[in-house]
Amino acid sequence: MWHEGKIWPEASRVRVFMLVPGVEVPHLCVQCHDYPCVKACPSEALSISPETEAVIVDREKCTACGLCIEACPGDVPYIHPAEKYAVICDLCGGDPQCVKACSEGGWDALKLLKKSENYTYKVYAKTPEEITREVAVQLYGEVGEEVV
Amino acid sequence: MPGGYAGKFLEVDLTSRNVRDIKFSDEVLRQYLGGRGLATKVLWDRLGARWEEVDPLGPENILLMFTGPLTGYAPGARLCVSGKSPQSNGIVGSTIAGEFPVELKCAGYDGIIFTGKAENPVYLSVFDSDVEIKDASHIWGKDAKETLKVLVKEGREALAKSRPRRGVWKEPAAVYIGPAGERLVRVAAVVGKWAHAAGYGGYGAVMGSKNLKAVIAKGTGPLPEAADMEKAVEAAEAISRINLRYTHLRHWGTGYLGYDVGARLSAEPVKNWQEEWHDEKSYSADKFEPFWAKRFWGDFGCPVTCLKLAVIRSGPFKGAITDNPDYENQAYLGTNLGVFTAEGNIYLTALIDDLGLCGIQCGNVLGFAAELYEKGILTREDLGGIDLKWGDVEAFASLVRMIVERREIGDVLAEGTYRAALKISEMKSVDALKYAVVAKGIGIGAHGIRSGEDYPHHETYVCSVQGGDHTSPAYIPLDDDLSELTVALYDSGVVCWFNFFEEGTKDHIWGLIKAVTGWEITPEEWYGTSARRIIHTQRVALLLGGPDIRWDPKTHDDIPSKWYKPLKAGPYAGKAVDRKIIEEAKREYYEAIGWDENGVPKSEELRRLGLEEVDKKAEALRG
């Protein structure tokens, strides 16, 4: 909504995967400190926001080559469904709309914190399959293995 | 074009494998919106002239999966499934929650019309405008969990192949049938996400009759634009904000009612409605809660999240996964069978989910069979050796499998309670119909009327155009929040009723319709014309019925005969329904909605609404 001005699940910076029912897992940039995606970009389309330290995609420069997807340990970026550029969470310029929606919805599952230098966020960069497997086993026990 | 619509529908002829886009005029869309309304219009236009001859399980029936303009905009997205119902022989708008309708709209389609019958098992894949009929022989016979696993895998592989550099593909959404639908079991549902179902109507059997195992959809576009996006979001947020206060549904779903409707309202089916009261504290919400692996299980954009995820991790029922269960399943696969343990109920609910059955219809027929066994009408031998005692979870599970496999008595019960009652009456030379709790071939939802404490009125199941469907109650006044004219709006929207329960929510729907479509539809227009077109057409189709069964309002506009007998126990012991009051309520309802004294929509009423063709067919019903 915030970026596109319309309801567009396939263009959302937060994609919610449901490879297994009940195991809905949000998939989005985890804010790695070492920026493998930025380093992998051959066309200088990716940069780091000085304010938020989030990755910023320059739509003009991006060629939609997909190298950032390969470089990301969680395969998080993807190519916009209608235009030729990579989609990566930019923290909505410092005011993440997902956090707002979550709080307005009374779920309070998301909270805005300051980025810490002492924590390796990168460990959370996982593919939807990896996250699904972990959560499915947590939720369903042994059956979790079978249903994935 | 009005906002909120993708602007085209898919028509898939399964016989010729021909696929084409079709459109409806803005006028038709304004009159019928989508979902149940538009389905009724399409069914009548195509099958009305020879309605009585159309076999619901024959290739001539058509199967509709329709969204509506509000789907995806209003909180609580649903898909409406319809066709000629193999339960009532009329039209039922049967809805199912989930992401499928949103994916379909984002793919550019407002709905799908299936005609004919595929030669071999198939599934339909909709990826934006790429529509493909695919082989389903490898998933035919598979249960929900296996089916969905394969569909998600194959769907994602096909997506990745079509656009290899896009990144990781999110799964397509799916609706499917289990083995029950494949075997034309009339109590089979159209299922999604393991535990979501469009149960009423029996459209799982219609899918099966067409050799259609599943439909998957992925839309990469945005939701079709609203006429006024800002106002649409405003209205949706206003509805959501009210719903966020709706804490009991959010916290427990309808799963707090399994104890409550019985103990407090005395309106819950107990042992095939021999009782409607129980005070089994073993069955209260707090006994279910320990099994919830997830308390808030919401579908796309839903603030209510009435579903909870129940998992059994140990003991004899280990491995069962389902929703809460919700109230209807708690009642029909619990109290109605004399089962008063959370584990037993979760297990039976997970079983019917896996096999693709409707929990209400299946629980209705199971309770019916158990009472016949109790009364000695069905013997242990008839039941293939099962000692079908109240509360015996494993015995009921065995009978469920017999129904799905259509083995022995299972083959009779697979026809649903009403048809099974006719057959058993014949087999045993008894009147088995007096044990059947159905209305027009549809097992009645788990809300009784004897105590007078629950929401259904005397006219509710007597006059509903969807028979026993507790989510489509006939109700006076006609514009009541619970009236089927109101529900027809949600079912045509297509949105979830549970998002419009709380006081104040319904006030926003007219503004939401205006913001999304651009049409100023007033309550007067809806209740005075649009809703009546839908209800009258459904009523005429229901009374035409056929080919196997027809309903005569004089006989069948009635409650189950059991409900005339007094409740035996509880705070409302001794209360029964007075036949005179039923007759009065019926007359009053006929009068209010514009039906003649025989329950047939009046000619001038049909003509006022431009339903001349419906009127011509109704003439024969007027005798």
Do B509 and B607 share a domain, yes or no? yes
Q: Is residue B465 part of a domain?
A: no
Residue A46 structure tokens: 């990716």
Do B432 and B372 share a domain, yes or no? yes
Write the pLDDT tens digit of every residue in A80-98: 999 999 999 999 999 999 9
Segment holding B616, helix H or strand E: helix B612-622
pLDDT score of A141: 86
Residues 6+ apart with CB under 8 A from B41: B28, B31, B32, B533, B534, B537
Q: Is residue A80 part of a domain?
A: yes
Do B43 and B169 share a domain, yes or no? yes
CA distance to partner chain A, nearest, from residue B103 (Å)? 9
Could you tell me if A134 lies within 8 Å of chain B, comparing CB atoms?
Answer: no
- Of the pLDDT bands very low, low, confident and very high (cuts 50, 70, 90), residue B387 is very high
Do B303 and B231 share a domain, yes or no? no
Query: Positive or negative, the Cα torsion across B32, B36, B42, B44?
Result: negative
| Chosen from A2, A4, A7 to mutate, greatest number of chain B CBs within 10 A | A7
Write the pLDDT tens digit of every residue in B259-285: 999 999 999 999 999 999 999 999 999
Write the pLDDT tens digit of every residue in B180-215: 999 999 999 999 999 999 999 999 999 999 999 999
The minimal CB distance from B222 to the residues A7, A64, A142 is found for A7
Write the secondary structure of B247-290 as one string of H (helix), E (strand) and C (coil).
Answer: HHHHHHHHHHHHHHHHHHHCCCCECCCCECCCCCHHHCHHHHHH
Check: CB of residue B354 under 8 Å from CB of residue B302. no
Q: Is residue A136 part of a domain?
A: yes
B311 has a pLDDT exceeding 80: yes
B476 has a pLDDT exceeding 90: yes
Could you tell me if B240 lies within 8 Å of chain A, comparing CB atoms?
Answer: yes
Write the pLDDT tens digit of every residue in B34-74: 999 999 999 999 999 999 999 999 999 999 999 999 999 99
- Of the pLDDT bands very low, low, confident and very high (cuts 50, 70, 90), residue A102 is very high
Q: Is residue A124 part of a domain?
A: yes
Q: Is residue B554 part of a domain?
A: no
pLDDT score of A142: 82
Residue of A nearest to B308 (CA): A22
Could you tell me if B248 lies within 8 Å of chain A, comparing CB atoms?
Answer: no
Do B325 and B340 share a domain, yes or no? yes
- Of the pLDDT bands very low, low, confident and very high (cuts 50, 70, 90), residue B246 is confident
Our measurement of the distance from residue A134's CA atom to the centroid of its chain's CA atoms, rounded to an integer in Å, reads: 18
Please answer yes or no on whether A8 and B223 come within 8 Å at the CB atom: yes
pLDDT score of B623: 74
Q: What is the residue-wise DSSP string for B278-340?
A: ---GGGSHHHHGGGEEEEEE--TT-SS--EEEEE--SSTTTT-EESS--HHHHHHTTGGGT--
Check: CB of residue B253 under 8 Å from CB of residue B325. no
Residue of B nearest to A145 (CA): B319
CATH (domain of B307) = 1.10.569.10
CA distance to partner chain A, nearest, from residue B145 (Å)? 7
**What is the domain count for chain B?**
2
**What is the domain count for chain A?**
1
Do B28 and B165 share a domain, yes or no? yes
- Per the structure, the complete domain to which residue A96 belongs is given by 9-140
Count CA within 13 A, CB hemisphere, residue B171: 27
Return the percentage of chain B with pLDDT > 70, whole number.
Answer: 100
pLDDT score of A106: 86
Residue B125 structure tokens: 């894949």
Do B225 and B369 share a domain, yes or no? no
Q: CA-CA distance, B305 to B62, in Å (whole number)?
A: 32
A1 has a pLDDT exceeding 80: no
Q: Is residue B511 part of a domain?
A: yes
Q: CA-CA distance, A131 to B556, in Å (whole number)?
A: 54
The interface residues of chain A toward chain B in range 28-67, judged by CB-CB distance below 8 A, are 64-66
Q: Is residue A129 part of a domain?
A: yes
CATH (domain of B619) = 3.60.9.10
Coil/strand/helix, residue B205: helix
pLDDT score of A14: 95
Domain-ending residue, one of B443, B459, B490: B443
Q: Is residue A1 part of a domain?
A: no
CATH (domain of A67) = 3.30.70.20
Do B259 and B181 share a domain, yes or no? no
B348 has a pLDDT exceeding 80: yes
Q: Is residue A4 part of a domain?
A: no
Do B180 and B258 share a domain, yes or no? no
Q: Is residue B78 part of a domain?
A: yes
Instruction: Give the CA-trace dihedral at B591, B592, B593, B598, to 10 degrees.
Output: -20
Do B282 and B392 share a domain, yes or no? yes
Write the pLDDT tens digit of every residue in B585-603: 999 999 999 999 999 999 9
Coil/strand/helix, residue B47: helix
Please answer yes or no on whether B240 and A11 come within 8 Å at the CB atom: no
Write the pLDDT tens digit of every residue in B295-304: 999 999 999 9
Residue B49 Cα distances to B53, B56, B504, angstroms: 9, 15, 42
Do B228 and B276 share a domain, yes or no? no
Q: Is residue A3 part of a domain?
A: no
Q: Is residue A131 part of a domain?
A: yes
What's the whole-number average pLDDT of chain B? 97
Do B215 and B186 share a domain, yes or no? yes
- Per the structure, the complete domain to which residue B589 belongs is given by 1-243+473-546+578-623
Residue of B nearest to A10 (CA): B220
B179 has a pLDDT exceeding 80: yes
Q: Is residue B567 part of a domain?
A: no
The residue behind tokens 């959560």 is A135
Q: Is residue B449 part of a domain?
A: no
Q: Which residues of B touch A20 (CB under 8 A)?
A: 149, 152
- Of the pLDDT bands very low, low, confident and very high (cuts 50, 70, 90), residue B584 is very high
Q: CA-CA distance, B80 to B487, in Å (whole number)?
A: 12
Write the pLDDT tens digit of every residue in A111-139: 999 888 888 899 999 999 999 999 999 99
Could you tell me if A14 lies within 8 Å of chain B, comparing CB atoms?
Answer: no
**CB neighbours of residue B565 within 10 Å:** 14
Write the pLDDT tens digit of every residue in B545-561: 999 999 999 999 999 99
The interface residues of chain B toward chain A in range 129-188, judged by CB-CB distance below 8 A, are 145, 148-149, 152, 163, 165-168, 170-171
Q: Is residue B209 part of a domain?
A: yes
Check: CB of residue A19 under 8 Å from CB of residue A60. no
